[in-house]
Homo-oligomer: A and B are copies of this chain.
Amino acid sequence: MYRDPVQSLQPLHGVPVAMRPLRVGMIGIGTVGSGTFRVLARNQAEIAGRAGRGIEVVMVAARNLQRAAGIVGDGVVLTDDPMHVATHPDVDVLVEVAGGTGPARDWVLAAIAHGKHVVTANKALLAEHGGEIFAAARQHGVAVAYEGAVAVSIPIVKALREGLTANRIEWVAGIINGTTNFILSKMRDEGLDFAAALAQAQALGYAEADPAFDIEGIDAAHKLTLLAANAFGSPVRFADVQVEGITSLQGVDVACAEQLGYRIKLLGVACRREEGVELRVQPALVPAAHLMAHVNGAMNAVMVKGDASGVTMYYGAGAGSEQTASAVIADLVDMARLDGTHAAQRVPHLGFHAHAMNELPVLSRAAVRTSHYLRVPVHAGSDIKSVAAVLAVQQVPVQQLVLAAERSGAKPQVLVLTGPAAQSAIDLAVHALQAHPAVNGAVTTLRVEELAS
C-alpha cells in the first residue's frame, strides 16, 4: 500500500515539508487523458500551491504509443499494457480514463489490490460494478474517486458527499446528459423534430456517430445511479433505474408544453418517498420560469433538495476534455492533501460509512406518483369535457385542460395537466381514453416536475 514518508506529516507553520509529488499512472490518453495531462502541466504551480505538493504523471498506457508520445513528451514512461500501469510500484494513484467496463474493471481492481488509489471518470464502470469496486477499495484501504463521472465540471459528488452532509436529502433532479439537452434545446429554439436536431448535434460533435447511449437515457441513468447512492446512502443499483430516452419525443409536444408554460428536459430524478425511492430518467415538463428550464445547449445542472439547506443547484459543462480534467485533478488534489491512509478513510465512497448504508426499496414504475401532461387527439367537434369525464372516472385530478393551439394540418388536440397521480392510474386513464369515441389517435403522456422547494 502506498504510504508517504512519515516526515511528510510534520507541519511547519502549516506548510507540509518534504512531501514528494503524488505519482500518477494513467490508462488512456484520449480526450480526457490528454486534457488532464495538459491542465496538470499548465497549472502546475497553482495546483501544487493548493495541494501542498506536486502531482506528476509518471506513466501512461495507450494503444497508439507514437500518438501518446506526441502528447506527453519525454519523461513519462509509455506502455501499451494497461495492467503494467495498474500494478507498477512507482504509481501512487491510477487514473483510469480509457472508458469501457470489462477491461477497466480488471485494471481498477488490480490497482486496488496493489494498494493504489484510483481516480476515474467512468460512470458506466461505477454504475455497473461500483459495489464490487468500492468494497475492494475499503478492504485494501484505498480511495476510489469519481468526480468526473457525473456532470464533469461541476463538483456535485463533493457537494453531496461533503457539502450537504447535514441534510436528509429529499430529492435530486438533474439535467445530466449534454447531448440530449443540446437536442432538446434545438427542438425548442428552432422547432426541429428529433431526427433533425440529432443530425445537427452529430454534425457539431455533440453526439456520437452511435448516439444510442445518450439518446436512450443510459448515460443519464449511469450518472443518476451514482447521485442517488450518494444522496441516500443506498448501494449503486443501475438495474433498478427506470429509463426512458428522448427518441420517441415529438416536436408537437415540445410546442404544446410551451403553450402550457413548460419546457421539456431529460431529467434524472431520485426521490425519497415514504415507501421507498424513485429512480428514473425520462423527458419531463419543467416550468418555463424555473431555473432548470434555462439550462440550455450541452450544459448540465443538478438540483438537490435537503431538509435543512432547501434547494441548491449546481450548473456547468457536462462534457469536454479540460472540463473533465478539472474534476479528475480535483480528485488528485484531494488525495495529495493527505497521506494515503487518511485520503482513503476521510470520505466514504458513497458518502455514508458501510454500517450506515440503507437498502432502500426502489418503487416500481406503476407506483411512481407525479403530475402528468397528456396530449389527446380528438375528432373535430368533440366536447373536450368528455376527456375530463374519463379522467374523473379514473380518479386522475385535472389541473388544466385546454385545446392545443391550432397547427396547420394537425388534428384537434386536448392538452391536460393533471395533479399528482400514480403511473398506474395514468396508464388506466390512457387505456380508457384510447377506447373513447371522441379520441382520434394515440394519447401521449409525459411526466411534469414542478421541482418546487
Contacts and interface: CB of A to CB of B under 8 A. Distances in A.
Interface of A: 9, 11, 13-16, 35, 39-40, 42-43, 45-52, 138-139, 141, 147, 153-155, 158-159, 161-168, 233, 289, 291, 294-295, 306-317, 320, 322-323, 325-330, 333-334, 337-338, 341-342, 344-348, 351-357
A154 B352 contact: no
A19 B63 CA distance: 47
Most chain B C-beta atoms within 10 Å of own C-beta, residue among A13, A309, A333: A309
Given A14-B345, A15-B355, A308-B43, A155 B166 contact: no
Given A141-B11, A166-B47, A346-B337, A310 B315 contact: no
A338 B342 contact: yes
Given A16-B345, A138-B13, A314 B314 contact: yes
B326 A309 contact: yes
A45 B233 CA distance: 12
Contact of A291 (B39, B233, B291, B311): B291
A57 to B, nearest CB: 13
B155 A159 contact: yes
What number of copies of this chain does the assembly contain? 2
Counting chain B CB atoms within 10 Å of each CB, the highest count among A14, A16, A233 belongs to: A14
Contacts of A325: 166, 308
Contacts of A289: 294
B310 A316 contact: yes
Nearest to A40: B166
A16 B356 CA distance: 12
Contact of A334 (B154, B162, B167): B162
Contact of A147 (B158, B163, B314, B347): B163
- Interface core residue of A35, A162, A322 (most chain B CB under 10 Å): A162
A133 to B, nearest CB: 13
A334 B166 CA distance: 11
A56 B316 CA distance: 36
A337 B289 CA distance: 40
B163 A330 contact: yes
A347 B52 CA distance: 9
A153 B309 CA distance: 5
A338 B346 contact: yes
A337 B347 contact: yes
Contacts of A35: 308
Given A167-B326, A310-B322, 14 more contacts: A11-B344, A14-B141, A16-B345, A39-B166, A39-B307, A46-B356, A158-B158, A158-B163, A162-B330, A164-B326, A164-B330, A308-B325, A313-B313, A338-B342
Contact of A166 (B139, B294, B333): B333
A166 B329 contact: yes
Given A49-B356, A159-B158, A353-B15, A308 B168 contact: no
